[in-house]
Amino acid sequence: MLSNPDRAGRVVEAVHGKSTTLPDPHWEIDFATELKHRYSTESLLEMYGSYTSCEGWLNQVMRRIFWRALARSIGSALTINPGIGMRHPETFEIGDSVFIGAQSFLQGRCDGHLRIGNHVWIGPQSYFDARDLTLEDYVGWGPGAKVLGSTHTGRPIDLPIIQTDLEIRPVVIEKWADIGTNATILPGVTVGQGSIVGAGAVVTKDVPRYAVVAGIPAKVIRLRDTTDDAWESIEQSCTTRP
């Protein structure tokens, strides 16, 4: 059988992760500041809804202005695609050159905290239970990936589970990590620096730095650094972790 040259892979240069951050124009920042002084959070969210669904330069700029008026802090060059929903944006801290894909949802909490670092790329249809969540710099977040920051205690047993208290546990995605399409990160997990979470994986415990994990539940399948010393270190961390 003849090989099909079109099926051979190709390597192209990264775009988002190497982009230069240009400061937002002063008039955008001034406009957002004025809106924040004049209107309540509820009113700002209502007005933001007028710009959520459409493409185009004006809608993109207006979404960015409203996010700056609503959030705790917003860096420059934020890209907000259509259809993105949010709750409690006043708890959001977002860095420079962040991309948020269409139809994503960021579920904050009034006493919570969501921090997104610089040059983070978030794919479409992602879900963030952002009760206590940190995404550090240069994190890639695949389309449809989800993170849960809370779970019901299930106690006492004579109550429906949804009536029991919520336990909120912090989730941290350390810098340079990459989360695969449709992966799920469960409460209390730290994904280590430079690690890769495979598509569809369910991550139930901490991921060591520079590890590649996959499966349900996710397990270490290799290290990005495959030296013997690195393997010994990873095996020790896996066996000693509770």
pLDDT tens-place string over residues 94-125? 999 999 999 999 999 999 999 999 999 999 99
234 vs 183: which has the higher pLDDT: 183
Q: Angle formed by the axes of helices 57-70 and 41-48, to 10°?
A: 170
Report the pLDDT value the prediction gives residue 8, as an integer from 0 to 100: 75
Q: What's the pLDDT band for 127 if we cut at 50, 70, 90?
A: very high
Report the pLDDT value the prediction gives residue 225, as an integer from 0 to 100: 78
Q: Is 88 a catalytic residue?
A: no
Q: What's the pLDDT band for 14 if we cut at 50, 70, 90?
A: confident
CATH 2.160.10.10 fits 71-240, yes or no: yes
Q: Which residues are bridge partners to 147 per DSSP? A: 128, 185
What residue ranges do the domains of the chain occupy? 71-240
Report the pLDDT value the prediction gives residue 236, as an integer from 0 to 100: 53
201-225 residues labelled b (16+ CB within 10 A) or e (exposed): bebeebbbbbbbbbeeebbbeebee
d(CA 67, CA 117): 16
With CA atoms as reference, report the closest residue to 127 among 150, 103, 146, 151.
Answer: 146
Q: What's the pLDDT band for 71 if we cut at 50, 70, 90?
A: very high
Mean pLDDT of 221-230: 72
